[in-house]
């Protein structure tokens, strides 16, 4: 059995490209054009991975030859080889937010996520946990839900967002770093297809917080 090697954002891209494939299959008549679309999608998905084993490459490359009737099964198999987010207990979460008191996860979260995030309504704090550079790191910030819809910095989705402000230390001064993020972090994870914004956020907030 193929061992998990996909991450949540890879799965989101695969789903997106499957939708593109299904749309083109249903709207295009020319068989050669349909085949060209499948080859383009396969190449695009393979480009997501800098290195792949022979078996991993073969799995992704299947999309090049899939019949419409096989697509649902392909997605089911893809979901089974997603690397799950670590399962964390409340005492482990508290260790990630040592400067905050009694931080508790308010819900049971899905394991197919890129980052773990939740809102503490009482304190108006948003908490995020992400495996930054191989280690689980927690950052937090105050949040204010906007009265208008706009684009989330992390996933790029247009919807209900909050302005999240994190206090960091830069050289000799403190300042805040602010971003618009989805109010619902679980929903945000369903749309996140690129970890670069998340990496940049943790690079800025976590690294400067270490110098506080």
Q: What is the pLDDT of residues 105-124, one digit of tens each?
A: 877 888 999 999 999 998 89
Q: b/e string for 37-56 if b means 16 or more Cβ within 10 A?
A: bbeebbeebeebeeeeeeeb
pLDDT digits (tens, 9 = 90+) for 78-102: 999 999 999 998 889 989 998 887 8
- 8-80 folds as Monooxygenase (1.20.1280)
Residue-range domain boundaries for the chain: 8-80, 90-210
DSSP 73-98: HHHHHHHHTBPPPPP--HHHHHHHTT
Q: Which of 1-15, 137-151, 157-171 has the lowest mean pLDDT?
A: 157-171
DSSP code for 153: T
DSSP code for 87: P
pLDDT digits (tens, 9 = 90+) for 146-198: 999 999 999 999 999 999 998 876 666 677 889 999 999 999 999 999 999 99
Q: What tokens does 106 get?
A: 């308010």
pLDDT (0 to 100) of residue 10: 97
For the whole model, what pTM was predicted? 0.90
Please answer whether residues 198 and 115 qualify as being in contact, where contact means their C-beta atoms are separated by less than 8 angstroms: yes
Rounded CA separation 83/195 (Å): 15
pLDDT (0 to 100) of residue 171: 60
């Amino acid at each position: 059995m193929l061992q998990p090697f996909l991450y949540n954002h890879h799965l989101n891209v695969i789903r997106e490209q499957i939708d593109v494939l299904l749309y083109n299959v249903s709207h295009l008549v020319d068989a050669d054009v349909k085949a060209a679309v499948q080859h383009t999608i396969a190449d695009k998905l393979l480009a997501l991975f800098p290195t792949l084993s022979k078996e991993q490459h073969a799995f992704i490359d299947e999309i090049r030859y899939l019949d419409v009737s096989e697509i649902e099964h392909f997605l089911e198999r893809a979901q089974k080889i997603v690397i799950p987010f670590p399962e964390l207990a409340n005492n482990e979460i508290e260790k990630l937010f040592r400067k905050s008191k009694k931080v508790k996860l308010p819900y049971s979260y899905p394991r197919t996520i890129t980052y773990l995030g939740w809102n503490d309504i009482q304190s108006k704090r948003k908490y995020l946990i992400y495996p930054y550079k191989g280690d689980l790191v927690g950052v937090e910030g105050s949040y204010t839900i906007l009265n208008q819809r706009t684009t989330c910095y992390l996933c790029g989705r247009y919807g209900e967002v909050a302005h999240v402000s994190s206090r960091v230390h830069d050289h000799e001064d403190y300042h805040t770093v602010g971003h618009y993020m989805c109010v619902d972090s679980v929903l945000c994870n369903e749309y996140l297809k690129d970890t670069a914004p998340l990496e940049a956020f943790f690079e800025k907030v976590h690294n400067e917080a270490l110098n506080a």
